[in-house]
Structure 1
Amino acid sequence: MLDEIHPDLPQPADDCNAYTLGSIGLHNIIIACLPKGMIGLSPAATVAANIVRTFPFIKFSMMVGIGGGIPPKVRLGDVVIGTPSGLYPGVVQWNKGKMNAGGVFERTGSLDNPPRALLSAISKLETKHELRGSRMPEYLEELKRKWPNLVPKYMRSDALKDILFRADYTHNSVEEGLRHDDDDDDDDDDGNIDREPSCDLCDQSQIIPTRPREPRVHFGLIASGDQVIKDGIFRDQLKSGFNGHLLCVETEAAGLMHTFPCVVIRGICDYADSHKNKSWQEHAAAMAAALAKELLGILQVPSVQDERTARDSMNIMHKAILKQNDSIQCLTSAAEREQEERILKWLSPIDYEAQHFDFLERRQPETGEWLLNSVKYQNWVNGRGQALFCPGIPGAGKTIMAATIIDHLMVTHHSESTIGVAYIYCDFRRKSDQTVNNLLASILKQLIKHSPQRSRFIQELDISVRPTSAKMFVNLRQVIGLYSKVFVVVDALDECEAAGGCRARFMAYIKDLQVKCGINLLATSRFIFEITQTFTGDPSIEIRAALVDINKYVEGHLDRLPKFVRGNSTLKGDIKKGISEAADGMFLLAQLHLDSLVGKSSLKSLRSALSKLSTGSQAYDLAYDNAMARIEGQMEEQEELAKQTLALIFHAKTPLNVEQLQHALATELHESTFDTENLSQIEDIIDVCAGLLTVNEENKTVRLVHYTTQEYFERTHARWFPEANNKIVSICTTYLSFEVFESGPCLTDDMFEDRLRTYPFYDYASRHWGHHAYLNSTLQDICCFLDRTPQLEASNQALQVLDQVPRYPNYSRDIPQGITGLHLAGYFGLSDLAVHLEMKYKIDVRDTYGRTPLWYASSTGQEPTVALLLGKGADYEVKDQFGKAPLACAAHLGSETVTEQLVEIGADIDTVDYLEQTPLAFAAWNGHQSVVERLCHHNANTEIADTRHGQTPLLGAATNGHLSVVQTLLKNGADYESKDKYGRSALLVAAWSGFDDIVRLLLSHGADPTSSDDIGRSVLFYMVTTEHVSVLERLLDDDRLDVNIRDRYGSTPLSVAICHNKLSMVEILLANPGTCPETEDRFGRSALWWAKRKGLSGLEKLLCSTANARDEPPVVLEKPGKRVRCTYRDSMNENGRKQSASLIIMRLVIFK
């Protein structure tokens, strides 16, 4: 683009920039490029600093290059010039900002505006474009004449296609994995377009249609940062974060504009999404250069002369920047940490940390020492891969002891980052939360959170879909491999849900982790046969409250007793002795007995109570009877408050926190407003409950004091608080009918979240009023609530909003509207209510998503209500807006009974949704083996593939590791060689995910291990990118496999393993006598090339020394269908396999 090229000038020895000098019009021009292969803020800043030292009188710069466009306004081939927009300067650094009140991270425009002379010229340029159009085509024609050799590379041709995919559709990365270019490597070694990742395998239906148009110039905001953006959703979030002003993203400008007066001009070469490639880069660069030349033609020389020199501007800015750097860096780190925490919360919303610290607070100091000092415990702590089982009778103090053990482990290994500690506190009150998936996810979350490689592992998590239990287990094995030792403590295994095999499956997983990954596992439990059998053969220590510990507890709580006790040492001794003897190894009983003495007003009454302390098998029931008698002995208002509180806590479907409990208790039935003056203090609430309630001080949840308290009320609740569920329904419906909810659903996320904060019982009441009504309730209060349409829709908003982290914009409005009482009757399974409402609504009344009452009843597995609605003639083939029918809902949920009901009445067993997913596909994907069996029994089609990934039910089950489902499908004739739209078979996806049981099963059925996908990728290529050593070893034992198989790019499994830094897989491959490390791909890249590229110096030296040491040509053995190269100086390893001497060295070099 230069009009003239000038000769080079001498430059300082320490200036490594390469300059091209020349002129455009009357302006002298210095062109400096970033060093080859380098991108980002720091290299750009270094180049700028060198320019100013060598050319001290330079005025300002134009940063001309390429960037990613923000659709739909900006298209490929357009040019964006950075100019101030709204509150922002021409360029903003998108990953820096400030922390506002409330912890909200806000990006700010901390970079300088372009110089005034350039802004004036840009304004004039914009006006000229509006009047006469741009001169860029003229300059490009001039380039053709002057430099014809550049035409094929830099001019636009028909080969350049402007294709924009939906933001949420990610690129088919199968091809990417084989190219194994670095994500941040934007240079092209040889310019060969064949190396570019194409979108040929991407779903063309995900393309957003656009009309062809001429290139345009845009004036506005450019975002700059150190990271290349390849995520359409994140790109659109950035745009929203800058109030829609954003036009372009790039990676260098912020490094320059921090200090250097500058304007940024970017030709658009991609859409900053996962489909990013380099095809448009040269043409986009030419367009940007043409616009720069046009701008310089408008820029007046006198206005340039009036500007400060760049050096002066930089000195002024440097002082200000020094003051801000430290604080901005801290804020950036805080924002990154916050994002990681959001992802970890998405992985597992369960956080046991609050419970743990609450239990530690309750622990009497210096108790539990006997266990920590025991030989069995010390052996467990110092060993590896061991299990220790700690059973105990109810109330023996197992949970407090577990907390003591966890604290001991965390304190002991606090400074050792290679030792991990994770723990689970099972709780009978959290059965719905404590699924196998959530329990494994919690362990995974804790180990990731405290790992030195936390950030890397979080970045590698696929958060587009929640992992299945089997996939969670695979992730766990990978994370455990990052530690030298891992301790996992599981408290109260007996309180883990036994129904549906949940507890058995969870125990199988954690025992597998102990055996296969070498974790140290400790579990506490009651004496349950199933649990005891699981730990047969493992060391065990029975947990009982030691006499010395009970005495310490009583001694530590004597100040709660009447004053006449405190000065009477004899009485104190009698109290300790009486409680200790009556407790008989049960810590809880000691606590209850001590509570029973608190209210005594005389020495005689206290000694009388002491002599009657309950003992033996009925001790707990007698102690709880005593507590309830004390409650009934209070004043009437206190008694009523205590019983209502205990009823709410006992019957609550999820734990209530302090504010929720206070609001529920303060709700006055059939009133239309909430009166804050009716709120009770939590201290008063706890006091009137006679020691039967406790508050977790960390998360403020209120719970019964022990599992045995729950069991006591399960036997006696009808005696103490009859009709409690009816009362709770009335409280919920009254609360939801308040006038404040007459405005209906909230219009924004902020308004919705403010409503949740202001009315804390609103969320619980919305989600659970129907669950309480299901047990036993009159219809009067319910119908009164359902007749209030605005309040009903406000309640539906809280009911249907998904509990997900992170939340997406407008999540609170992304729910069906037009919900009716009949829909909710179906959702909650309220058959009596459905009968009552059937005359008011059509049986197939639809909400705005097209869902009917039968649809909701099927989606929640309400068998009696489904039968009722079908009997009333409900349409069982009706589909919602996503094409999902009731049968698909039941199969997705895993409800065998509802599935059978719908199939028996004639529902289409192969009904498909908008992605062509069948009920069998939903059941197989989610691992519902009994439903899969039922559908197969009715001849469901096993070969229908969805349109998203082309997966059959077998492929879905193999992807998620559902072994029993895979077995059932194979038994029913599923084609194990069927492939998805990328050419991947069930064997391939199972191997990639590390499900070795499924790999073994498929191979036993005859699955072909040599089969490859659409880009020539066989099972070996997928395996070497994982950590599943056993699966790879099993595959290499198959003579049909060629260890040197090459893909479309000529890559081998060895080169792919090195590229992905999978050194354990490299070791196995090189240990195989057939592996040929010298094989080069189409671009001349061998294993040695990748070792150098990845900085694996030990492996690089080894490969070089191995090659140089060979004195003879390689021996080639002929085997059926392949040629196998053998290594030299072979010796035998411990497994009887041949292994070269160089390999023995390599094991020391790489893996020592």
Structure 2
Amino acid sequence: MSDPADYTIAWICAITTEYVSAQAFLDEKHAGPEFVSYNDNTNYTLGKLGKHNVVIGVMPDGEYGLSAATGVVTDIVHSFPNIRVGLMVGIGGGAPSEKHDIRLGDVVVSAPRDGNGGVFQYDFGKTIQGQKFQTTKFLDQPPALLRSAIADLKAEYEGEGHCLEDAIDVILEKKRPQFRQKYGRPDPSSDRLYRSDVVHPFGKEVSCQAVCGDDLSKLITRPDRADDDNEIVIHYGLIASANQLMKDAVIRDRLATERNVLCFEMEAAGLNRFPCLVIRGICDYADSHKNKEWQGYAAMAAAAYAKDLVCRIHPRRIESGKRIKELVSELKIPISRIEASVETILSKSSKEEDRDILDWLTRFQTWIGTKGQTLFCKGIPGAGKTIIAATVIKKLMNEFQNNHEIGIAYIFLVSGGTRSKSRKTFFGQLSSLPSLPEPVRALYKNHKEENTRPLVNDLIKAVQGVAALYSRVFIVFDALDECRSLDGCREQLFAHLFVIQSKVQANVFTTSRPIQDIEAKFQNSLSLEIHATDEDIQRYLTSQIYKLPSFVTHNSDLQNKIKIRITQAVDGMFLLAPLHIGTLAREPTVGHLETALDNLSSGIDETYHQTMIRIEEQGGGLRDLAIKVLSWVFHARRQLNTAELQHALAVQPGTSELDERYIPDLEIIGSICAGMITTDTQSDVIRLVHYTTQEYFERTHTRWFPDATAMIAETCVTYLSYDRFEMASSGIKLLDHLSDVMKDNILSEAKTSSFYQYAACNWGHHTREASDLCPGVIDFLQHEFNATASARALMASSPQYSATTPEWTGLHLAAFFGIEKALEIMLREGVEVNSQDQYHRTPLFWAAGAGYEAAVKVLLEQGAEVNTEDYYYQTPLSWAAEGGYESVVRLLLDNGAKIDAKDSDSQTPLFEAVTGGHEAVVRLLLDRGADINAQDGEGWTPFLEAAWGGHKAVVNLLLDRGVEVNLPGIQRWAPIVEAARGGHEAAVKLLLDRGAQVDAENFGGRTAMSEAARGGHEAVMKMLRDKGAKLNNAERPALSEAAKGGHEGAVKLLLDWGADIDAAYSSKNQEATKVLFGRGTDIKAVGISGLSAVLHAAIGGHEAVIKMLFEHGGPEWCVTQLVHWTGAGFTDHEARMRFKAAAKGGIEAAAKLLIDQAWNSGVEISTNVLQVLQAAANGGIGELSKKLVDITARMRKSENMYFSHP
């Protein structure tokens, strides 16, 4: 059997015909894989092409389309961990046109254009009133090594031809007759291209020759190809994909004309996060005249090209590339959890409400009907704000579920384990809600490759990009008050939320507790106070009477007394009603119940207190279990699902196996906690019933759960030490030479154990927080196999996870979690303090990098080497500085850490501190003598890093310490340019105030103004303008940069300031051009360069802009401009050279368009221009030359066309 780890190229097929063709071209065929990942449903053939090991995967029989393709990709990535190149090879429908002479049996290769991949999903996009449907989804570009191989092969084919037909013939000669008949080249006469208006009769399965015939009036006649030409022609361009079979010649021709589509198919768009190349052999013309006769040969042609391409790539280039598993690693986006929470909330509201609560919200109707409107809803805790928000979402989704022009985003800021989310994480959630739109994928891809986190402004732009895909956007934001004000999160949130709203005219619905500064932000918005009415409360109580003792259900007077008293007690706080019902449900007699009614509390804290007293009054076993449940739910570092909590509760101290007899029933768990917890039925998560419950326990947990952290720590360690996990971990250690997949399979025991992942990731945190070291910790850390398995699970939870088994000792684990007591004991027992993992990191790295001062001190006292270097030449001081841990940095320096130690990028610890904006650490390092002007390998300095990151306080500190504001000795970089690039207003203002040169240039001629314009940072642009910044920098005109980025607001600003129009027209951005037209700009005016708009568009090859110019300026003027540019005063040789240079810049399509427009409009063309065009044709510049010859001939034959000099 074959090891899946040995295979680096994935070849994906959709149907059996493609699969057979792919296998036929293998140089060697290998045995099947030793193992595949769990739930892998794909069939594989393994083999060798040239020097490469290839895995060929085929979709399950009868399954086609995007989802099937996605399934195959998922299986391959999981089962073959070292795949680095992906190919989708098979058949497709051609889109022949006047420009592209595509025949049956030809091959189309997806070729990226304009930064997009070579495949787009033509049934995914947006429809805007008065405009055409706009496709918006492109695949990722294939890896660079594939693109390079394509270029190399293309050059060889054009110069020397190819041998694909010969390669196919060699294979066919070895096969049986039936194979040759199905996969050989059919008779050329069967290659018929019918006119678009000729449709094959529906339901007629007989051949087109019999039904549609060979009538020349129905066919498009095409000349025979020359005898010396290859039968198979390779075409490079755009492939259109969808979840449906293209059988419409009219749509085919439209997309071929408008988008330059060469081929149609129905699987590749399913690979939207799998960077691969798509190769299609043409078996029909994507019309109603399907031609299965050509499928076999088309599949063989595509496979032959694919093999030729693969053999072109050197194995070393493949090995040096990134694994696709890394490129398509899952985004950590809790969409399903959010959606599940909404569904849970809605299910509750539907039980609690018998009417549509929005019918009476007239202000809601005003909000939903007015674009750009805000509705702010405030209410006391427990009044039902979250239910209202969830109902609004349900209303929006029901109303717009079939309208793909409407975007709906919703955020619930919840208490507990997630209440400390930073604004960056929050906006990351917001931007990820509408599945995976292109702006989000691009943002993730860029920062994933660089292993960086996006700036807030990057996230905001991504959100705006997502919102711009829709004609209307609704944002529902529950519990704004959960976003804290102390760290500036709330102010940042409001600022960015209002920016998004103004940019896309979004409708915003928000809820919050009554907090003055929040209410002030919405004082000019529609507002509504949410308060549970007495009728609402009593309606709910009526539905809950059945939960009370039978003596209540048969006594209507008592029922009314209960409803009146509870309604008075809750005072509009809906949350308290079920807690009071729970209190009464346990009373044994009418007398006890009426006494309890009289003693009902009216405040939240008092109600919670009474509930906890009631829990403690339960029997011993029930009481202990309830306290244990609440301890786990409150102290857990993330929310636990039901199975995790059940396993945690079942663990008995001192045991070596889980005794399932101790697993409590979920119904028991719910009942003994007296309404203090709730289970989200969709997400299966158990949590506290309300954020006020969380706040109550934050104030009182030491009273109710005094020993919780120790209990939780002991439970985790006991669970991780179970014998079943020791067997799994020993298997990994002993078989460490096997592939990642084998290791994962061996660990399946741990993975399928509900509580294992939580325990492995969090046992150390709970142990550190406990007052005493819990039993079993030292034994666990000194047990090699269990520690290894725990470390592997811990690493697997990291975004930078590598499947390599971590070479950690127990001391590494203790240092990672900062458990100083464990470190002291282990070091006293003789454990090596400087033991290294596979990246040469000692325990000191992990303790310093997490900021555990006490643990660092223990390690240093026991002889830890303070200046040890890891694989990247970083030191513990670098890690501590990066984290901003001032006390740890001071401790390391006091113990001799080298302050200017350089890593593999020649960056010192000061760089790390500056990057994180850690002002206190920066100050400490400078006080201790750190080199303030240190340069890394790129000439980058700490000051540049601070400016680029927008860390105003750090920038100010560095300036105060003597850094030159303009860095005169650094020629490649200017701090103010870097600050402007990030849109950091405060940093830019500070730099200007401290004397930064407003027009300083970076490497490449970038200025602060051009960078601010490129990012659309209008506030920064205004600040720079006020300081006299130039607009028309020779290399990077601000207007050009703004236009390229599509920032209409920035374009308008620059035009108001008098920016040169040359710059705008040199960009291909159509929106910027529309802005110019809308302002009445004279497109016939010339800029500083002496060129008009149409010449800029022609030189740039921007067809869409040229079309707009023709519409606004008229064809005569546009062609006259082209005449002036192309011919006047030039010899044939000069003109030819100029045309060749223009052609390299992409002028062919634009020049062709201009000439077509001239011919169709009957415009006068000078003889000089015709001579130039003929000279260009003689010079041989591809399709443009051929077209020019044809146009020239047509013009000279026309009696209505005459020539004159302009």
Shorter-chain TM-score range: 0.5 to 0.7
Which of 1027-1036 and 725-734 deviates more? 1027-1036
Secondary structure in 2 matching 1:352: helix
Q: Aligned pair in 2 of structure 1 residues 270, 586: CA closer, same or farther (>3 Å)?
A: closer
1:311 aligned partner: 186
Provide the alpha-carbon RMSD of the alignment.
5.5
Q: Which amino acid aligns with 2:635?
A: H
**Deviation by residue 1:626-681 (Cα, 9 ceiling, x = unmatched):** 33344344443322222221221122121111111011111121111223333222
TM-aligned CA deviation for residue 403 of structure 1: 2.2
TM-aligned CA deviation for residue 439 of structure 1: 0.4
1:836 aligned partner: 825
CA distance in 2, matches of 1:222, 1:950: 47
Q: Which amino acid aligns with 1:828?
A: F
- Structure 1 position 604 matched with structure 2 position 598: no
Q: Which amino acid aligns with 1:1087?
A: A
Q: Which amino acid aligns with 2:429?
A: S
1:1098 aligned partner: 1108
Q: Aligned pair in 2 of structure 1 residues 853, 1080: CA closer, same or farther (>3 Å)?
A: farther
Secondary structure in 1 matching 2:638: coil
CA distance in 1, matches of 2:1029, 2:992: 12
- Structure 1 position 555 matched with structure 2 position 555: no
Secondary structure in 1 matching 2:834: coil
1:729 aligned partner: 713
Aligned length: 903
Secondary structure in 1 matching 2:433: helix
* Residue of structure 1 aligned with 2:758, choices 761, 764, 768: 764
Secondary structure in 2 matching 1:680: coil
CA distance in 2, matches of 1:395, 1:727: 32
- Structure 1 position 902 matched with structure 2 position 902: no
- Structure 1 position 789 matched with structure 2 position 774: no
1:813 aligned partner: 803
CA distance in 2, matches of 1:305, 1:458: 51
Alignment of 1:132-151 (within 5 A): none
Q: Aligned pair in 2 of structure 1 residues 731, 1087: CA closer, same or farther (>3 Å)?
A: same
TM-aligned CA deviation for residue 599 of structure 1: 2.9
TM-aligned CA deviation for residue 717 of structure 1: 3.6
Q: Which amino acid aligns with 1:570?
A: D
Q: Which amino acid aligns with 1:817?
A: E
- Structure 1 position 572 matched with structure 2 position 572: no
Q: Which amino acid aligns with 2:763?
A: W
Alignment of 1:150-169 (within 5 A): none
2:344 aligned partner: 358
CA distance in 1, matches of 2:683, 2:1070: 43
**Deviation by residue 1:57-106 (Cα, 9 ceiling, x = unmatched):** xxxxxxxxxxxxx99999xxxxxxx99899575699xxxxxxx9987685
Which of 532-541 and 665-674 deviates more? 532-541
* Residue of structure 1 aligned with 2:623, choices 597, 615, 639: 639
**Deviation by residue 1:535-584 (Cα, 9 ceiling, x = unmatched):** 56666544332222212221222232233433443333222211111111
- The answer to whether the 8 Å contact 2:914/2:946 transfers is yes
CA distance in 2, matches of 1:217, 1:1083: 52
Q: Which amino acid aligns with 1:788?
A: H
- Structure 1 position 430 matched with structure 2 position 417: yes
TM-aligned CA deviation for residue 939 of structure 1: 4.9
- The answer to whether the 8 Å contact 2:867/2:898 transfers is yes
- The answer to whether the 8 Å contact 2:8/2:82 transfers is no
- Structure 1 position 490 matched with structure 2 position 484: no
Q: Aligned pair in 2 of structure 1 residues 782, 238: CA closer, same or farther (>3 Å)?
A: closer
CA distance in 1, matches of 2:170, 2:696: 89
2:664 aligned partner: 680
Which of 1011-1020 and 619-628 deviates more? 1011-1020
Q: Which amino acid aligns with 1:440?
A: F
Secondary structure in 2 matching 1:1086: helix
Q: Which amino acid aligns with 1:679?
A: I
CA distance in 1, matches of 2:526, 2:758: 43
CA distance in 1, matches of 2:988, 2:424: 22
Alignment of 1:715-754 (within 5 A): 715-743=699-727, 744=729, 746=732, 748-749=740-741, 750-751=744-745, 754=748
Alignment of 1:1003-1014 (within 5 A): 1003-1008=992-997, 1014=1003
- The answer to whether the 8 Å contact 1:260/1:314 transfers is no
2:463 aligned partner: 476
TM-aligned CA deviation for residue 818 of structure 1: 2.9
Secondary structure in 1 matching 2:835: coil
Secondary structure in 2 matching 1:902: helix
CA distance in 2, matches of 1:762, 1:602: 46
* Residue of structure 2 aligned with 1:799, choices 794, 801, 806: 794
Alignment of 1:362-377 (within 5 A): 362-363=348-349, 364-366=351-353, 373-374=360-361
1:1043 aligned partner: 1032
Q: Which amino acid aligns with 2:764?
A: G
Which of 507-516 and 842-851 deviates more? 507-516
1:543 aligned partner: 530
Q: Which has the higher contact order (CA 8 A, sep 6+)?
A: 1
TM-aligned CA deviation for residue 697 of structure 1: 1.0
TM-aligned CA deviation for residue 521 of structure 1: 4.2
Report percent identity of matched pairs: 29
CA distance in 1, matches of 2:7, 2:560: 80
1:346 aligned partner: 331
Q: Which amino acid aligns with 1:1098?
A: M
TM-aligned CA deviation for residue 397 of structure 1: 2.5
2:1201 aligned partner: none
Q: Aligned pair in 2 of structure 1 residues 560, 274: CA closer, same or farther (>3 Å)?
A: farther
- Structure 1 position 1087 matched with structure 2 position 1108: no
- The answer to whether the 8 Å contact 1:825/1:833 transfers is yes
CA distance in 2, matches of 1:580, 1:799: 49
Q: Aligned pair in 2 of structure 1 residues 1041, 887: CA closer, same or farther (>3 Å)?
A: same
Secondary structure in 1 matching 2:871: coil
CA distance in 2, matches of 1:929, 1:1106: 63
* Residue of structure 2 aligned with 1:824, choices 786, 791, 813: 813
CA distance in 2, matches of 1:73, 1:563: 70
5+ residue gaps in structure 1? 1-69, 75-81, 93-99, 114-122, 127-215, 226-233, 1115-1152
- Structure 1 position 282 matched with structure 2 position 282: no
Which of 462-471 and 1089-1098 deviates more? 1089-1098
Alignment of 1:94-105 (within 5 A): none
5+ residue gaps in structure 2? 1-5, 11-17, 29-35, 60-71, 95-101, 111-141, 192-203, 209-242, 247-263, 276-323, 1045-1062, 1125-1206
Alignment of 1:1129-1140 (within 5 A): none
Secondary structure in 2 matching 1:420: strand
| TM-score, scaled relative to structure 2 | 0.64
- The answer to whether the 8 Å contact 2:717/2:780 transfers is yes
1:713 aligned partner: 697
Q: Aligned pair in 2 of structure 1 residues 520, 838: CA closer, same or farther (>3 Å)?
A: same
* Residue of structure 2 aligned with 1:525, choices 512, 535, 551: 512
CA distance in 1, matches of 2:702, 2:774: 21
CA distance in 2, matches of 1:1018, 1:595: 68
Q: Aligned pair in 2 of structure 1 residues 707, 964: CA closer, same or farther (>3 Å)?
A: same
- The answer to whether the 8 Å contact 1:1046/1:1052 transfers is no
**Deviation by residue 1:888-917 (Cα, 9 ceiling, x = unmatched):** 212222223323433455533332222223
TM-aligned CA deviation for residue 771 of structure 1: 1.6
| TM-score, scaled relative to structure 1 | 0.66
Secondary structure in 2 matching 1:424: strand
Q: Which amino acid aligns with 2:795?
A: Q
Q: Aligned pair in 2 of structure 1 residues 937, 587: CA closer, same or farther (>3 Å)?
A: farther
CA distance in 1, matches of 2:768, 2:1040: 61
CA distance in 2, matches of 1:648, 1:839: 33
TM-aligned CA deviation for residue 733 of structure 1: 0.9
CA distance in 2, matches of 1:757, 1:305: 49
Secondary structure in 2 matching 1:695: strand
**Deviation by residue 1:596-645 (Cα, 9 ceiling, x = unmatched):** 12233443333332232212xxx334433433344344443322222221
- The answer to whether the 8 Å contact 2:834/2:842 transfers is yes
CA distance in 2, matches of 1:1091, 1:920: 47
